[in-house]
């Protein structure tokens, strides 16, 4: 397909018909009217997301995002989608930070579930019994709340031995995700465009997934800490809109101090929070 052909075939302002009733008295949460598919256009170009997520210290992650963008362009699909991405690495490797950087760059809503707790696992599955007390799986509620058909859902706390098929299998099975029948709602739901990021601490959980269900991205200690430093500066600037109020060197100094004080390895999300308090206290720099 040539470039003009791809341009003509592009789906513009796409809407996902998320819910189709399959019962007499369905609860559609308004999703029968559709949900927007976002983050298309220039974001999918090589100069778009791969350049703006500011994760150069994890090149495998950047390459995975770039590959997802290319696939969408080739298929004429004008929205961001990477399917299921399993980020494998050690604790505090910055995988949650990567998900938040991707959400910031795409503008997609980000939802986080902690699968290490019984409450988090119950949220992912929803309640089993239909009726007024039934609770749909968390990803369905995320789409209903955001009216976005391709949000980012970050699952944290997936430990060694976690059975991902048991945890979210029906929601990520490529043969079933586009028509996931929810007994809770009496609807067939298309969860196939959700962008899953699963933070996995070891290979065991990923190895249990059937072939082709997820792309595996490995996080390694950065070869150059300055790239991690720049990524943290970007996160702080985005969250606080601090870039115009603080000199770059002040940002660098504060972030370097936070990195030096990591000790046993504070999660990057905690570093960003800590930096936010520090920068907020400093105020504008003359």
pLDDT at residue 201, as a whole number? 80
The DSSP call for residue 20 is: E
d(CA 46, CA 50): 6
Q: Across the chain, what does the average pLDDT equal?
A: 77
Q: Whole-model pTM?
A: 0.76
Of 16, 44, 21, nearest to 143 by C-alpha is 16
Calculate Rg over the CA atoms of the chain: 20
3 or 56, which is more confident?
56
Identify the pLDDT of residue 240. 55
What mean pLDDT do residues 162-186 have? 83
Q: Is the pLDDT of residue 143 over 50?
A: yes
Give the residue-averaged pLDDT of 176-195. 85
pLDDT band of 283, cuts 50, 70, 90: very low
Q: What is the pLDDT, as a whole number, of residue 286?
A: 31
Task: Select from 249, 248, 255, 242 the least CA-distant residue to 283.
Answer: 242
Residue 56, pLDDT score: 83
Is the pLDDT at 153 greater than 90, yes or no?
yes
Higher pLDDT, 278 or 11: 278
Q: Tell me the average pLDDT across 130-143.
A: 76
What is the percent of the chain where pLDDT is above 90? Answer: 28
Q: How confident is the model at residue 243 (pLDDT cuts 50, 70, 90)?
A: very low
82: its two tokens: 């990477």
pLDDT at 214 over 80: yes
Q: Given a cut of 60, is residue 91 above it in pLDDT?
A: yes
CA distances from 243 to 50, 98, 279, 284 (A): 21, 20, 11, 10
pLDDT interval class at 208 (50, 70, 90): confident
Q: What is the DSSP string of 221-249?
A: --S-HHHHHHHHHHHHHHHHT-TTTS-HH
Reduce the secondary structure of 133-149 to three states and give it as a string. CCCCCHHHHHHHHHCEC
Write phi, then psi, for 177 (nearest 5 degrees). Answer: -65, -30
So what's the pLDDT on residue 216? 93
**Tens of pLDDT along 2-46?**
444 434 434 456 777 666 777 777 777 777 778 899 999 999 999
């Amino acid at each position: 397909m040539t470039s003009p052909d791809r341009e003509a075939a592009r789906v513009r302002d796409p809407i996902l018909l998320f819910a189709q009733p399959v019962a007499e008295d369905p609860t559609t949460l308004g999703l029968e009217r559709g949900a927007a598919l976002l983050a298309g256009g220039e974001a999918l170009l090589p100069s778009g997301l791969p350049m703006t997520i500011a994760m150069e210290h994890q090149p495998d992650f950047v390459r995975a995002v770039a590959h997802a963008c290319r696939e969408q362009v080739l298929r004429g699909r004008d929205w961001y989608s990477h399917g299921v991405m399993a980020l494998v690495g050690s604790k505090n490797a910055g995988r949650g930070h990567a998900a938040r950087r991707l959400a910031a760059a795409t503008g997609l809503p980000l939802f986080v579930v902690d699968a290490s707790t019984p409450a988090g696992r119950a949220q992912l599955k929803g309640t089993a019994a239909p009726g007024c007390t039934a609770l749909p799986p968390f990803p369905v509620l995320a789409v209903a709340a955001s009216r976005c058909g391709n949000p980012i859902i970050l699952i944290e706390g997936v430990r060694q031995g976690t059975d991902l098929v048991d945890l979210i299998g029906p929601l990520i099975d490529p043969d079933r995700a586009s028509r996931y029948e929810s007994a809770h709602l009496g609807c067939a739901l298309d969860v196939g465009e959700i962008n899953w990021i699963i933070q996995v601490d070891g290979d065991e959980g990923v190895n249990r997934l059937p072939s082709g269900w997820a792309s595996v991205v490995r996080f390694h200690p950065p070869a150059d800490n300055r790239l991690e430093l720049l990524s943290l500066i970007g996160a702080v600037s985005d969250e606080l809109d601090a870039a115009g109020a603080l000199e770059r060197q002040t940002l660098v100094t504060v972030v370097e101090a936070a990195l030096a004080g990591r000790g046993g390895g504070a999660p990057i999300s905690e570093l960003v929070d800590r930096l936010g308090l520090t920068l907020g206290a400093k105020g504008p720099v003359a």
